[in-house]
Every structure is written in structure tokens, then in C-alpha cells.
Amino acid sequence: MARAVSLWLDTSLQPLARGVFERELTALRVGGGHECRRRNRQTQGSMSEHATGQALDIFAFQLGEEKQGGLEVSVERPNGLEHTRFLEAVRQSACGAFMTVLGPGSDAAHANHLHVDIQQRRAASSRFCQ
Ligand SMILES: [Zn+2]
């Protein structure tokens, strides 16, 4: 998972940050990474991909240094068209880099963050991207 995130950062996110904002991506604000729990924090049902360390939840992207006019792009509350376009491009690139991508609009549990994971789906080439 670390390798997949690292590759995504280098080949997609950093170029997108430079292209859209002319700034470096300096941090990801993340929630759960490796965390033993069931899907969507339910008490029953399938184990989450977070339980095996194969998933990451991203809440925001930090661009540039805060002291030098840096900005944060929130997944839940993008601030204007530029942020929205950046998030759309990020999400599209995530669909190529990970096996599952869920975010705002997919379901209530993912309304405020982007979930990415590398769990193989039934068909090796199949991806779940919502
Ligand atoms: Zn998640």
C-alpha cells in the first residue's frame, strides 16, 4: 500500500498540484490507515480493507507551506471551481492507481473523504471506482 501511495503521489498528485495550483503537494490529511475494524465501522459484516493495512482515507490535500500562502483542499468542502477540478482529477487518477476508490457521492460513509485501497477484486483487471 505504501508503494502504491508513493507511486500515485509521484506520478499523479504532484504533477496535478503543480499544474493546477503551481504549488508542491506538501501533505495529505488522512484518517484511518491500518486499523482493525469492519467496513464503515459497523459491528457486523465484512472486515474493512483498513484491517489489513491495504486502505487509506484522505480528508484533505495540503499545497505549499502554510507560512507562504499555502492552501488546503478539503475533499468534503472544496473551495471553488479550482479545488473541485483538482479533486476530480485526483479522483480520476486514483481510479487508475488503486483497485477501489470511494468518495463524496458514492455513499454516506464516504461523504467527507476519499477512500483508496489495493484489495484485488474478483477479476484481476476489475476496479471499483465511485
Ligand atoms: Zn476507508
- Strands (E) in the chain, as ranges, are 25-30, 55-63, 71-74, 100-102, 114-117, 128-129
Residue-level pLDDT at 110:
93
> So what CATH class is 2-129?
alpha beta
Q: Does pTM top 0.85 for this prediction? A: yes
Q: How far is the CA of 50 from the centre of ligand 1 (A)?
A: 6
Mean pLDDT of 107-117: 94
Pairwise pLDDT comparison (87 vs 125), residue with the higher score? 87
- Does the pLDDT of residue 36 top 90, yes or no? no
The mean pLDDT value for 71-88 works out to 96
Q: What is the mean pLDDT of the chain?
A: 92
What residues are neighbours of ligand 1 (ion), with CB under 5 Å?
Answer: 55, 57, 115
Q: Domain limits of the chain?
A: 2-129
- As a whole number of angstroms, the distance between CA 32 and CA 16 comes to 24
